[in-house]
Amino acid sequence: MVQGCEKLHANQLTASRAPEVSYQSSPTLAGNVLADFRFSSNPSPQEDARVFEVALATLAGDAHEIWTVEGEVVSGHEGDLRWSRGGGWLFCALEADERIQGGPEGAARHAYATLARFLRQQPECHVQRLWNYLGGINRGEGDDERYKHFCHGRAEGMGDWLASGFPAATAIGHHAGEHLLQVYLLAGSSPGRRVENPRQVSAWEYPRQYGRTSPSFSRATLLCTGDALAISGTASVIGHATAHEGLVLAQLDETLRNLDALLASGSMPAGFDGHSPLKVYVRHRDHAALIHDSLAKRLPGVPLLLLHGDICRADLLLEIDGWRYGQSSTAVPTVVEQYSPQV
């Protein structure tokens, strides 16, 4: 995924290993921590640029997500943007206020234009993974749904920044106030490899019914080091349609099938293990225990973090994203259950 880095950097550090991602209860902010995500329904600004409070309440699991890298990390602020770098990796994040930027479209446009300007000038300019959290994601009808406005503003803000290959991404609705948009990313010094799910239509090829601007993300990214798959928000979607509307366990089963397909397509070992942290976004709090217990039985030993958040479609009850680590691989993706559109 070549992303138009405009500046050549002498002595550029190339990452040799993917960041280690783990869930912890009371972590120490050591010198090799690239980012510390703290989940709260009432987020507050943090002085340390590496610490970012995400506007989602924790339903189960340890409330810190920690990224560590090889070597020392340096960090700082540039206007509203916070960043840290180390080991050939870059984390950066920002918050945009819709009341200042002109609604969800304007906030997304501002956030992505700001990130694009910053990233183009960095040695770690190749985006591997993006996260987006916005309030009231399903509010509004048809093209006036807030998520669809966000998608349009995001596309306008990024311009041609990611036009040669969208990275993996997540977009979830928080409950901390509609005005707040949070965006953060992981970038590296080399391009990653886009991975698609053969069971699904690629998001940027969705038909018009999903909005005037299609979502701009791939289903996963094989990181530039080849040893980890960063998995996008994955839900109960076959082709481009929601499956099992209203049935939470059936949606969970379909989501797991999609995750298995992504592992195969990304040349990763089958299944998940104790080194494969997964975040589970749950629309309804009263589904959390059922989802957690089912996942604990289906994926024993897998680190799980359940968060209270709305999914980008009103008929989806849950979504899962996360990481799968494996051996460095340049293998051609495996072909699995191919989706064939109905005529």
Q: Return d(Cα 290, Cα 162) in angstroms, integer.
A: 38
For residue 186, which of 279, 93, 114, 117 has the smallest C-alpha distance?
A: 93
Give the position of tokens 């990181």: 223
Token pair 């957690």: residue: 292
Determine how β-strand 20-24 pairs with β-strand 33-39.
Answer: unpaired
Phi, psi of 317, deg, nearest 5: -100, -15
135 to 158, 187, 188, 226, 303: CA distances (angstroms): 21, 25, 29, 34, 27
Q: Residue 38 CB: number of other CB atoms within 10 A?
A: 16
- Catalytically active residues are 319
- Residue position matching structure tokens 């990653």: 192
C-alpha of 326 from chain center: 19
C-alpha 62/C-alpha 174 separation (Å) is: 19
